[in-house]
């Protein structure tokens, strides 16, 4: 099924995620003009220079009053105030979607702040990104062969969900549907927990008295384990708060596994240590093969 062109798209938060969507959707010929809304004038100027957006605005309500589709791609902690600001001005037909990394909170915020617009609300999450941020990090191919998870509300009109899905497909992505709770549990395990671990580990190294010496000798293993500790602190603060319960459960599970590993090292249990590493290695190798096949 081919999708119609969306004439006016407003991207609220023109960073890595919103900017990459704008670039890919424009290249696919699926959108007319893109208005970028942001809180940083410098970032909006850069987005204009790079052709990520066609127009810039710092007035979210004014920009959205003429929107056919609004993509909110700010940190999730900003979404309440964005939904609140646009609620009185949204055209009745305008679709509101988002790119937030958590979905239970976004669904609740849509219900609280856009109660008369729920048929046009399509919560979504592209499973692609990086540790870079801002409009300058936006790239055309970010969503090629990546997944996007949509968590429609019961009120979401099928045509609105399908239009958002089609736009993401036009950006190269494969679209999946989940409930918000399942989404948040899965991503607590495979995205949110590893980010917290990377932040905790690098912070621990940085606080050691011999940190400079340690960093001097850190190499590719350190680099591969810690890349994501370079990610945007505000984004990860907001995700940690929004997905608190699922994340606390995963932290507890991880701590128990770390305790088990500690006991094996303390006991000098060579065979058990080997089994422990072999179990994880097999799972990682199998996952990586699947990931490469699908990329
Ligand atoms: N980075 C990733 O890997 C990734 C992947 C998938 C989803 N996400 C989600 O996408 C969203 C955006 O992440 P990103 O990586 O593009 O971040 P980013 O920092 O690159 O971009 C966010 C932009 O939003 C702007 N902004 C913040 N508050 C605003 C407000 N109130 N009004 C207007 N603009 C505002 C910021 O100035 C910034 O330009 C987040 O919700 C994040 O959880 C991120
Ligand atoms: O590649 C990265 O740096 C990412 O952190 C991307 C990543 C992930 O954990 O895989 C981060 C947050 C998201 O919401 C989706 C994708």
**Closest approach atom of ligand 1 to CA 18:** 16
> Phi/psi at 66 (nearest 5 deg)?
-115, 20
Ligand 1: distance of its center to the CA of 129 in Å? 11
Compute the average pLDDT of residues 200-214.
98
Domain 182-294 has CATH 2.60.40.10: no
* Nearest alpha-carbon partner for 98 in 154, 175, 21, 3: 21
- For 9, left (φ over 0), alpha (ψ -120 to 50), or beta? beta
Which one, of 125, 104, 120, lies nearest residue 168 by Cα? 125
pLDDT in tens, 183-194: 999 999 999 999
Sign of CA dihedral 247, 248, 249, 254: positive
> What's the pLDDT score for residue 2?
52
Backbone angles phi, psi at 32, to 5 degrees: -85, -100
CB of 99 within 6 A of ligand 1: the answer is: yes
> How far is ligand 2, taken at its centre, from the CA of residue 255, in Å?
22
Instruction: Tell whether ligand 2 has an atom less than 6 A from the beta carbon of residue 191.
Output: yes
Residue 139 in contact with ligand 2 by CB distance below 6 A: no
Judged by DSSP in three states, 154 sits in coil
For the Cβ of 109 lying below 6 angstroms from any atom of ligand 1, the answer is no
Report pLDDT digits (tens) over 236-268.
Answer: 999 999 999 999 999 999 999 999 999 999 999
Going from the Cα of 174 to the center of ligand 1, the distance in angstroms, rounded, reads 21
Q: Measured between alpha carbons, how far is 206 from 273 in angstroms, rounded to an integer?
A: 28
Of 238, 244, 188, whose CA–CA distance to 78 is shortest? 238
Does 127 contact ligand 2 (Cβ within 6 A)?
yes
Residue 1 has pLDDT above 80, yes or no: no
Where residue 4 falls among pLDDT bands split at 50, 70, 90? confident
Q: Where are the domains of the chain?
A: 6-177, 182-294
| Burial environment of residue 31 by CB neighbours within 10 A (0 to 12, 13 to 18, 19 or more) | buried
Ligand 2 neighbourhood includes 131 CB (under 6 angstroms):
yes
Domain covering 6-177: architecture: 3-Layer(aba) Sandwich (3.40)
Share of the chain above pLDDT 70, in %: 99
Closest protein CA for atom 5 of ligand 2 = 130
**Residue 187 CA, ligand 2 centroid: distance in Å:** 9
Q: Ligand 2 within 6 A of 228 CB?
A: yes
Residue owning the nearest CA to atom 14 of ligand 2: 101
CA nearest ligand 1 atom 23, residue: 13
Burial of 176 (0-12, 13-18, 19+ CB in 10 A): middle
- Each residue of 152-190: pLDDT tens digit? 999 999 999 999 999 999 999 999 999 999 999 999 999
Does 39 sit in the ligand 1 pocket, CB within 6 Å?
A: yes
Q: 139: burial class by Cβ within 10 Å (0-12, 13-18, 19+)?
A: middle
Is the complex ipTM more than 0.90? Answer: yes
Domains 6-177 and 182-294 alike in fold: no
* Residue 20, ligand 1, Cβ within 6 A: no
């Amino acid at each position: 099924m081919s999708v119609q062109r969306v004439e006016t798209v407003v991207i609220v938060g023109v960073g890595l995620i919103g900017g990459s969507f704008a670039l890919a959707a424009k290249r696919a010929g699926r959108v007319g003009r893109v208005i970028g809304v942001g809180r940083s004038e410098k970032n909006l100027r850069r987005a204009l220079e790079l052709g990520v957006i066609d127009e810039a605005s710092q007035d979210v309500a004014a920009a959205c009053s003429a929107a056919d589709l609004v993509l909110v791609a700010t940190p999730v902690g900003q979404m309440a105030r964005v939904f609140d600001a646009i609620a009185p001005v949204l055209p009745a037909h305008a679709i509101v979607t988002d790119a937030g990394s958590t979905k239970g909170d976004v669904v609740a915020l849509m219900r609280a702040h856009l109660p008369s617009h729920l048929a046009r609300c399509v919560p979504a999450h592209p499973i692609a990104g990086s540790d870079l941020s801002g409009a300058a990090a936006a790239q055309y191919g970010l969503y090629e062969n990546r997944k996007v998870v949509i968590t429609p509300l019961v009120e979401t009109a099928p045509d609105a969900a399908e239009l958002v899905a089609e736009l993401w497909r036009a950006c190269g992505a494969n679209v999946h549907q989940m409930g918000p709770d399942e989404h948040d549990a899965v991503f607590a395990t495979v995205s949110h927990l590893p980010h917290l671990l990377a932040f905790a580990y690098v912070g621990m190294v940085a606080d050691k008295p011999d940190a400079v010496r340690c960093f001097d000798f850190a190499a590719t293993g350190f680099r591969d384990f810690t890349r994501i500790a370079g990610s945007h602190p505000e984004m990860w603060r907001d995700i940690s708060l929004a997905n608190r319960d699922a994340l606390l459960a995963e932290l507890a599970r991880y701590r128990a596994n770390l305790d088990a590993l500690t006991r094996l090292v303390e006991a000098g249990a060579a065979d058990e240590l080997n089994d422990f590493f072999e179990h994880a290695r097999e799972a990682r190798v199998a996952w990586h093969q699947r990931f490469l096949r699908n990329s």
